[in-house]
Structure 1
Amino acid sequence: MQIPQLRMESTFAQLGLNINKPVQSIKQPQAEMNLSQTPAELTIVQGKTKLQIDSSQARANIGIMTSMQFSDTNAAYGREKWLQSISEKSQEGDRLMRIYTKENAIAQIGREKGLRVLEGGYRPPSTSNDEGVDVSFQAVPATINVKRNGMSIHPVTRPPELSYTPGKIEPYTIQYNSLKISVVGSQLDKMM
């Protein structure tokens, strides 16, 4: 006797996947430094140089005198003659006082004075050997001022630019699952 059997045939479902990978991009824009350099300031001040030339002594040496120089020269000459006269009078008095020398002092003094009148009168002072020009020079150094103004930095930073496209998975069916059941070895109605 045959025992009826149930026979099952099944096929598994097969799935396929369409995979789109995720995409991520990162861009970093360049930062801006914004440097600015203020020029330094240089100030140079040159003082005036002083030059003095005094030629009054040179003019006096060649006989061209100012009124003050002429007055001073005459005063010096008068003083010199005055002191010389005092000295001579003192010496003449000493000679007249010495009677014991048996010298004819009055005649001798008269003869000396007569010869001196012939020698001449006023003579201007002799010229000096130097030129008589006084030159004075006074140099004033330059004043230099430096002002450093420095530099300024104003950086501008930029955040990174991120873009992200998420991945996508799309499933699809390659083969559907199935199950077949059949009865074998039986006289039974196969309708099920």
Structure 2
Amino acid sequence: MQLPQIRLQSTFAKIAIHTTPPVQEIKQPPAELEITQPPAQLTMETTPSKLTIDQTKAWEDMDLKHIFRRIEEFAQKGYEDWLEGIARVSRQGDELMRIEDGGQPLVEQAKENSDKPMYEFNIGWIPSLFSVKTNFEPAKVHIDVKVHKPMVQAKANKPIIHYTPGKVNVDLAQRNSLKIDFVNIGNQVEISV
């Protein structure tokens, strides 16, 4: 026996989605920068060092004197000897003036005037200690620096932005459907759907 059947055949709807992704471009131009640095001004003043060595005393100690020094010493020595001679002659004249006081002034004066003086002798070519005098003045340096500040000029550039928005297209790729079939119904059944 064949039973009546209802056959249903359905298809679902299909949606087609097409997307175009967004595009964003960002370009950042570098900043325009100008830096000017004037050079520093440097001024230096130097006073040179000075070394003074005076060995006059050492040469004099070795009896190697300058002619002007010798003339000066001889003049001083002659003047002193002259004064001593005047004093001696004056003293001897006073002694002779008082000859009546006794004594033997003539004999003593003859002996005094005839005796040669005793001279001292010493090693003459070794200078005395610290006879060479030195004086040192160190150098002086004066440095003057004038610094100039840098001049900076900066111009910032804005970023360049290009944006293309994305797109979404939604379409119906397949419509839904329902197909109904009746099998083994015959003529007796009224069909209405």
Bin of the TM-score, shorter chain as denominator length: 0.5 to 0.7
Instruction: State whether structure 2 residue 60 is matched by structure 1 residue 89.
Output: no
Gaps of 5+ in 2: 1-16, 172-193
Matched-pair contact (CA < 8 Å) for 1:28–1:159: no
Between Structure 1 and Structure 2, how many residues are aligned? 154
- Percent identity over paired residues: 24
Give the match's secondary structure for 1:153. strand
Written as runs of structure 1 = structure 2, the 5 A alignment for 1:124-163 is 129-163=128-162
Aligned CA distance change for structure 1 residues 130 and 73 (closer, same or farther; 3 Å) = farther
Q: Which runs of 4+ in 1 moved over 6 A?
A: 18-22, 166-172
Matched-pair contact (CA < 8 Å) for 1:19–1:167: no
Structure 2 CA distance for aligned equivalents of residues 111 and 171 of structure 1: 158
Structure 1 counterpart of 2:139, which letter?
Answer: V
Matched-pair contact (CA < 8 Å) for 1:31–1:156: no
Aligned CA distance change for structure 1 residues 169 and 105 (closer, same or farther; 3 Å) = closer
1:38-86: per-residue Cα shift (whole Å, max 9, x none)? 6645555543211121222211210111110110111111011011111
Matched-pair contact (CA < 8 Å) for 2:45–2:142: yes
**Hey, what does 2:28 align to over in structure 1?**
29
Aligned CA distance change for structure 1 residues 22 and 100 (closer, same or farther; 3 Å) = same
Structure 2 counterpart of 1:98, which letter?
Answer: R
Aligned CA distance change for structure 1 residues 109 and 157 (closer, same or farther; 3 Å) = same
Matched-pair contact (CA < 8 Å) for 1:45–1:143: yes
1:35 Cα deviation (Å)?
4.4
Q: TM-score, normalised by structure 2?
A: 0.59
Matched-pair contact (CA < 8 Å) for 1:31–1:155: no
1:26 Cα deviation (Å)?
7.1
**Hey, what does 1:8 align to over in structure 2?**
none
Q: What is the Cα-based RMSD across aligned positions, in Å?
A: 4.0
